[in-house]
């Protein structure tokens, strides 16, 4: 999952992942959770995840448009 950090705070888990890698994986899972339409983009620099972008698309149905116009 990218370059391992050599910091004292970054301990390896039983399966070899660091605490930082587990945190990044959790953030990626959170970005994907409940995403129906859209995408998640992961930006990596020098083998390290530095940014996670989530773009979600929401479709407005015809019924929702008509209900909105009726109240205006």
Using one digit for the tens of pLDDT, what is the confidence trace for 37-72?
Answer: 999 999 999 999 999 999 999 988 888 888 888 887
Which tokens belong to 25?
A: 């994986």
- Check residue 13 and give its pLDDT: 67
Share of the chain above pLDDT 90, in %: 54
Residues 49/43, Cβ–Cβ less than 8 Å:
yes
Using DSSP, state whether 66 is helix, strand or coil: helix
Burial of 53 (0-12, 13-18, 19+ CB in 10 A): exposed
């Amino acid at each position: 999952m990218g370059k391992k950090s050599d910091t004292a705070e970054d301990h390896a888990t039983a399966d070899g992942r660091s605490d930082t890698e587990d945190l990044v994986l959790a953030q990626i899972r959170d970005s994907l959770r409940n995403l129906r339409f859209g995408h998640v983009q992961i930006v990596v620099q020098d083998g390290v995840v530095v940014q996670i972008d989530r773009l979600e698309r929401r479709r407005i149905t015809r019924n929702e448009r008509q209900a909105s116009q009726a109240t205006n």
